Structure 1
């Protein structure tokens, strides 16, 4: 009788151990699959971030190059405008100088005319 009870107990214990081992293996397999799925999903996100980072780097380099070109063009335009402004000022100076010369010539002509009149009157 005790032997029979002991045998039944041993069989139940062995069955429980087998079920527990089977459940443990299923859990490990399931957790392994879950972990792989999560890692794959994270890797996809990381790969997408990496691709986006490369695109941003490329765009940044292009923008930097374009900005450099724009700065050089702006500096060239500023130099041209400065040269143009200087030329306009010089033209203004020439015009002013020519008006002064014209007035002086008129003054000299008037003085010579007066001298000539004075000489002819005497």
Structure 2
């Protein structure tokens, strides 16, 4: 314990100026040491508070950036899922359209095949009818003279003549409705028989 300056004379009976000066120096040094210690502690506390504040700011900044990145990541993930769902829906629609198009193409192909088959059948039927009409019996001269004065019965059949490009013609009894169906005769038109004997044009 450092004695006070006013008690030096009582503490040292001899007393002296040197001892008093040393005691004052020691007291001043002790006081300055206490003040320096207080300032050091205060500066230390301020430094700790500043460091804590800086750390909090750094953490807040980093956390803010990380939080923003996390939010952006979640948003991108949701948009990616929505995009995948949209792609799957469009893929399904495309598959359905392709299936419908293939079905329509198949139906059109079948219709075209059936139409070609009908045309072939119609052509074959017409050709068969024309061949049947062109087949006849060649009449003789006596038969031509006899048939020139004969009246023909037209109650259910009409007499018709088929031109074959030859000067000879054959008399055939063909029902008019059958000819109209084959487009060989015009509907509602009568085609009476015209007989031509051999040698007569």
Task: State TM-score, norm by structure 1.
Answer: 0.84
Which residue does 1:16 correspond to in 2? 36
Instruction: Tell me the residue number matched to 1:65.
Output: 85
RCO higher in 1 or 2 (8 Å CA, sep ≥ 6)? 2
Query: RMSD across aligned C-alpha pairs, in angstroms?
Result: 1.8
* Pair 1:103 & 2:123 matched: yes
Report the Cα distance in structure 1 between the residues aligned to 2:61 and 2:138, rounded to whole angstroms: 116
Matched, 1:88 2:98: no
Q: 1:2 aligns with which of 15, 22, 25?
A: 22
1:29-68 alignment, distance < 5 Å? 29-68=49-88
Give the distance between the partners of 2:24 and 2:82, measured in 1 at CA: 86
Q: Structure 2 length as normaliser, TM-score?
A: 0.54
Higher relative helix content: 1
1:120 to partner: Cα distance: 5.0
Q: Which moved more, 1:67-76 or 1:2-11?
A: 2-11
Moved more, 13-22 or 84-93: 13-22
Where in structure 1 are there 5+ consecutive unaligned residues?
none
Distance 1:121 1:95 in 2: 42
- Look up the SS of the partner of 1:79 in the other structure: helix
Aligned-partner Cα distance in 1 for 2:117–2:40:
112
* Separation (CA, whole Å) in 1 of partners of 2:84 and 2:111: 40
Task: Please name the residue that 1:114 is paired with.
Answer: 134
